[in-house]
Amino acid sequence: MEAALMRIAVGGSADRSDQELAERAVSGDTRAYEQLVVRYQRLVYHVLWSRGGDPQEIEDLAQETFMRAWERLHTYDPAQPFKAWIARVAGNLAIDHYRARSRRPILVELPDEETAPLQGGEADPALVAQALDDQRGLLQALQQVPPLYREALVLRFVEDLPYDEIATALDLPLGSVKTRIFRGRELLKQRLIAAGRETATASGA
């Protein structure tokens, strides 16, 4: 009964804006904060997934993200979208986590890769279109793209964040975000076609 009442209370704040919920949370309303968690838990999961890690690790880091965000909520500027702020908290937490574990998936900067010409030129659109039918193959290809590109792609195309919000989330200039997303897409297309070719070879052999 108590749990049901609690859910009603949480549901009552469903139509409030992120900024309003954040202001209530700063003044001690944990239910308002819970509503923000409901709104952005998927986004945080996806950011953490794009940074690597197994399902358990993603869940632990997602919890830590929201705990850290709660502790630092007074630093959140309501003029900025909460979505971009929480994505940044998650991304920074993942960087700290993997750096502490001395694992490789996190690269803070990719200066050469940002400016160097793409290898292999443009992927054949016909082959890309063909490969898009295989959703699992697309997911696997995305996992092979370097994490920083992957995160930008996920924020843009899975989470549908506008470019300026991605710039805030990744703490990058707008131009770099556009370049990173374009290059990430091209890399993904190349991986996708390569995977399709390998599958065709394996089934032909």
Partner 1 sequence: MDTQQRDIPCTEPETLFLYSEGLLEPAETREVAAHLAACPACRERYLVEAEFSVSLRALPLPAPGADFAAGVGDRIRAGMRSRTPQWWWLAAAVLALAPAGLWLAAGGASATGAGVALIDFVVSLVRWPLVLAGWLSSAQGWADLGSAAEALLSAVAASPAYLATCIAAAVIVAVCTNTLLYIGARRALILKR
List residues binding partner 1 (CB under 8 A): 26-28, 30-31, 33-35, 37-38, 41-42, 45-46, 49, 55, 58-59, 62-63, 66-67, 70, 122, 125-126, 128-129, 132, 135, 138-139, 142, 153-154, 157-158, 160, 163, 178, 181-182, 185-186, 189
Instruction: Output 14 or 108, the one with its CB closest to partner 1.
Output: 14
Rounded least distance, CB 25 to partner 1, Å: 8
Beta carbon of residue 103, minimum distance to partner 1 (angstroms, whole number):
19
Contact 88, 169 (CB under 8 A): yes
Q: In the complex with partner 1, which residue's Cβ is closer, 5 or 126?
A: 126
Q: Which stretch of DSSP H or E encloses residue 50? A: helix 30-50
How far apart are CB 71 and partner 1 at their closest, in Å?
9
User: Between residues 53 and 81, which has the closer beta carbon with respect to partner 1?
Assistant: 53
Of the candidates 152, 155, 153, the residue with the CA atom closest to the CA atom of residue 138? 153
> Smallest distance from the beta carbon of 186 to partner 1, in angstroms?
7
Q: Mention every residue, 6+ apart, whose C-beta is less than 8 A from residue 111.
A: none
CB–CB of 44/93 below 8 Å?
A: no
Contacts of 21 (CB under 8 A, 6+ apart): 13, 32, 33, 35, 36, 82
Q: Using the minimum distance from each CB to partner 1, give the nearer residue, 67 or 200.
A: 67
Q: Tokens 């160097």, residue?
A: 116
Query: Cβ of residue 193: shortest distance to partner 1, in angstroms?
Result: 12
Number of neighbours of residue 16 by Cβ within 10 angstroms: 15
Considering beta carbons, is residue 84 or 186 the nearer one to partner 1?
186
Token pair for residue 145?
């793209």
